[in-house]
Structure 1
Amino acid sequence: MRFLPVFLDLKSGKVLLVGAGGLARAKLRLLAATGATVRWFAADGNHDVDGIDAADLARIELAQGDPLAADLAGVIAILCAGAGDIGVAMSARAKAVGLPVNVMDDLAHSTFIFPAIVDRGDVVVAVGTGGASPVVARRVRESIEAMLPSRIGDLASFIGGWRKSINARISEFPLRRRFWERVVDGPIGALVLAGRTDEADAALKQIADPSAFAGAQAQGKAEGRVTLVGAGPGDPDLLTIKALRALQDADVVFHDELVSQEILDRARRDASRIAVGRRVGKPGIGQHAINRLLIEAAKSGQRAVRLKGGDPFIFGRGGEEIEALREAGVAYSVIPGITAGLGAAAQFEAPLTYRHEALRITFLTAHKASDAETVDWSVLTDKKMTVVVYMGMTAAPSIRAGLLAAGRSPQTPVGVFARVTRPDAQAAVGTLEQLPDLLNMIDGGPAILIIGDVVAHSAPWRQSNPSQAIAKLLDAAE
């Protein structure tokens, strides 16, 4: 390790910046973000400060003259970026008086280097390669960015605000450490990371005996929680970063039958995996039983994930589950997922809205004919409305009959999109009149039905109706 990572308080003095162009301005923006006071000698005389916040400009001195003759009193570091040959001379001057100096892309004349930085407020991560490969450092930084919660700095700040008070109430260091571990890893930390700091603050205030709270973890009384996670339509790469973190943190995963093995493999290896969903036409354990399992897991101290296909709040019964958790006094959070309708639209290039053609979207579910018969189809006849039907394969004849009887044109474009975003995804397109026959063109579900003129813009429609696609393009051009 050639360079020791250190964090320098740039508010303790002035930073001398020498250089010009985009390189110097990039360093200027970075220094301004730390609250540093900067004296900038522009090598080309161009002090362009576009992009610098007005509040930061007051701390930037646009210096004139020769930087080699500049007064170094109060200066704590010298930076050279885009400075040309003057950078070497500035390095010699800095070393002569014992000041840290960085000459960009010149290790021989630098006594410190700039790392790739992950900035989360009070949490800062610096990644360096000893100057050998800034690109590698950036790639490592990107990986860390993906792993760290966006509000991890808020959590550090939250703890900082309470630390003095709690330390005064817990004298033993090991017990104090366990207290903060339990806060960070438990429901209070989850509240902060979810942006609900006021609730976290109230929860911490309710802890009457911090020592007992800390000791409870050692006695096996850890406090559990439930996270409802949207698994998306099937492609594991469509999981959100937050969903991945929840899966990696889970002790037990309660998952729908349709959640793919590839997604389940993203969970922590030693986490229990329990299938609780059901497929159409097959029995399941029932919603009340699922609610009970979630509550029991949390109350036993486990971190449970309820992993749902698509999004928890779009035909996923997520609302029912959080209501049960709320009534049971169980801590919970919700992580949205990409719903299957959006996955189908993206994969098969079927825009659900389209200027002048489709101005409204309706999502509905009908997994059996009796469901379809209860729908008021008269509100779905607007030609400028796209109708997205979940679990509609069995009820397809009733869906067609209901829309036609209500007045929707039999020539309305329709798409049946099966197993969307997965390697075996299929599509069949045609008209509303042909809807039941389209189901015979795919090898089973699950499938999304999209009904509306937007289907005529989809890739499968263009491939099967090239002349119509060309005509539509010409109409749009006119």
Structure 2
Amino acid sequence: MRFLPVFLDLAAGPVVLVGAGEMARAKMRLLLSAGAAIRWYVTDGDRDLAGLGEADRARVTFADGDPRDADLSGAIALLCAGAGDIAATLAVKARALGVPVNVMDELSHSTFIFPAIVDRGDVVVAVGTGGASPVVARRVREMIEKMLPARIGDLAALIGRWRHPIKGRLPEFPLRRRFWERVVDGPIGKAVLDGRLAEAEDQLKMIGDPSAYARGSESGHAEGHVTLVGAGPGDPDLLTIKALRALQDADVVFYDELVSPEILDRIRRDAARVPVGRRIGKPGIGQDAINTLLIEAAQAGQRAVRLKGGDPFVFGRGGEEIEALRDAGVSYSVVPGISAGLGAAAQFEVPLTYRHEALRITFLTAHKARDAEAVDWSALIDEKMTIVVYMGMTAAATVREGLLDAGRSPQTPVGVFARVTRPDASAAVGTLDDLPALVDQVGAGPAILVIGDVVAHSAPWRQQQLQQLLSTYQVAAE
């Protein structure tokens, strides 16, 4: 590490800016966003401050005279951007005075460099590559931007306001550290990140004994929480930021069998992992037992995650689980996930709705043949309705017969999309009459069945039509 990351207090004095053009203005905007007062030596005479608000304009002072004679006394730093040959002279002068200097794109003349910055108010993340590759630094910054909660700065500001009052009531550092860890990781921190700032402030005010709170709660018992998290259809990059945060915060994760190993890898390493799902022919432990495990974990003070494939509220029994948690008086929250039907639509370019062609969507599950037999297929024969069937592989023949008997055309386009968003995803398209055979083509599940004219707009359908056309031309050529 050649460059040590430091944070300059820009309220302690002015920053001297030398240069012109867009490069200098970009540095000026960055400095103003951090609250700096700027003394600007404009090298081309253009002092236009268009686009700045009145408050920002008031913090920019234009300096006259030769920049090489610039007064650097009391300056926090010197920046040269678009300053030409005079930058090297100024850099020597700044070094002699002990003033940090940055000459844009000239490491040899600089004593500090600008990192890529993630700005969340009171929380600032600096990413640097030692000046070797600003593009790489920006890409890392973009990754952090996606991961870092938008309101994390509000949480830091809240703690900053309460830091000294709590220090007076809780002088022991180790206990005070545990207190703030509970604030950040518990309901107060969650309230801030969810935008409920006033509620978080009120909760802090209501803490009567910070020492007891730091040890568990004011009653002396830790307060647990259950988060129902949608894991999506399999691709870990489709997890939401909230889902990732829940997995990293969890003490224990109860997960379905269909959750991919790549997503399980996103769980905090020291968290307990408990499989509770079921597959065809393997009934699992049952929903009542799962509910009991979630309640017991929360009552033991743990942060538990119920990790479910797809979305918790789309054929995921999430409603049953939160009812059980609510009845037991357990704190809970829900993080939605991308449902497998939507994952299939995106990956294989199946527009589930299409203007003038598909105006309605019906989502249903047909895990077994008797599930499909219980469906009122007569309500699903509208040609402008797209039908998305979850867990329909084993009941594919019954689904076909139900729709055909109800009057849906045997030539209705159909797609079977297996293991969607995963590296081994597979698709087979054809007509309703061919549905069971299409299921056989894709191999193992899980799979989504999409029935309706929209399938004819999908990528696999277009590819199949092209292959048929090429085969026709080859036969004709022979």
Q: TM-score, normalised by structure 1?
A: 0.86
What's the offset of the Cα at 1:292?
1.4
- Which residue does the alignment assign to 2:293? 293
**Do the aligned partners of residues 112 and 467 (structure 1) sit closer, same or farther apart at CA in structure 2, a change above 3 Å counting?**
closer
1:178–1:217 CA contact under 8 A, matched in 2: no
**Do the aligned partners of residues 285 and 202 (structure 1) sit closer, same or farther apart at CA in structure 2, a change above 3 Å counting?**
farther
2:185–2:249 CA contact under 8 A, matched in 1: no
Distance, in Å, in 1 between the alignment partners of 2:30 and 2:14 is 14
- Which residue does the alignment assign to 1:414? 414
What's the offset of the Cα at 1:320?
2.7
1:457–1:469 CA contact under 8 A, matched in 2: no
- Which residue does the alignment assign to 2:317? 317
Matches within 5 A, 1:92-131: 92-95=92-95, 98-131=98-131
Deviations 1:457-478 (A, max 9, x none): 22221222228999xxxxxxxx
Distance, in Å, in 2 between the alignment partners of 1:8 and 1:86 is 25
- Which residue does the alignment assign to 1:14? 14
Matches within 5 A, 1:2-401: 3-46=3-46, 56-61=56-61, 66-68=66-68, 75-95=75-95, 98-135=98-135, 137-138=137-138, 141-142=141-142, 144-145=144-145, 148-216=148-216, 221-401=221-401
SS at match of 2:462: helix
Deviations 1:163-193 (A, max 9, x none): 2332333233332222112222333223333
What's the offset of the Cα at 1:256?
0.6
SS at match of 2:441: coil
- Which residue does the alignment assign to 2:425? 425
Name which of structure 1's ranges 60-69 and 122-131 shifts more when overlaid on structure 2. 60-69
Letter in 2 for 1:188: I
- Which residue does the alignment assign to 2:474? none
SS at match of 1:441: helix
Name which of structure 1's ranges 419-428 and 210-219 shifts more when overlaid on structure 2. 210-219
Distance, in Å, in 1 between the alignment partners of 2:408 and 2:468 is 20
- Identity among equivalent positions (%) equals 75
**Do the aligned partners of residues 252 and 202 (structure 1) sit closer, same or farther apart at CA in structure 2, a change above 3 Å counting?**
same
SS at match of 1:435: helix
**Do the aligned partners of residues 373 and 102 (structure 1) sit closer, same or farther apart at CA in structure 2, a change above 3 Å counting?**
same
SS at match of 1:118: strand
1:116–1:128 CA contact under 8 A, matched in 2: yes
SS at match of 1:410: coil
2:212–2:218 CA contact under 8 A, matched in 1: no
Distance, in Å, in 2 between the alignment partners of 1:134 and 1:270 is 35
1:396–1:436 CA contact under 8 A, matched in 2: yes
2:212–2:220 CA contact under 8 A, matched in 1: no
**Do the aligned partners of residues 457 and 60 (structure 1) sit closer, same or farther apart at CA in structure 2, a change above 3 Å counting?**
farther
Deviations 1:366-414 (A, max 9, x none): 3234433444445544434322211222333443344445554332211
What's the offset of the Cα at 1:63?
6.3
What's the offset of the Cα at 1:312?
1.6
Distance, in Å, in 2 between the alignment partners of 1:220 and 1:426 is 53
**How large is the RMSD of aligned CA atoms in angstroms?**
3.2
2:216–2:223 CA contact under 8 A, matched in 1: no
What's the offset of the Cα at 1:51?
6.2
Distance, in Å, in 2 between the alignment partners of 1:392 and 1:40 is 69
Letter in 2 for 1:43: T
Distance, in Å, in 2 between the alignment partners of 1:447 and 1:359 is 23
What's the offset of the Cα at 1:308?
0.6
1:430–1:438 CA contact under 8 A, matched in 2: yes
What's the offset of the Cα at 1:151?
2.9
- Give the unaligned 5+ runs of structure 1: 471-478
What's the offset of the Cα at 1:426?
2.0
Distance, in Å, in 1 between the alignment partners of 2:61 and 2:408 is 69
- Which residue does the alignment assign to 1:452? 452
2:16–2:77 CA contact under 8 A, matched in 1: yes
Letter in 2 for 1:277: G
What's the offset of the Cα at 1:82?
2.2
- Which residue does the alignment assign to 2:475? none
**Do the aligned partners of residues 47 and 216 (structure 1) sit closer, same or farther apart at CA in structure 2, a change above 3 Å counting?**
same
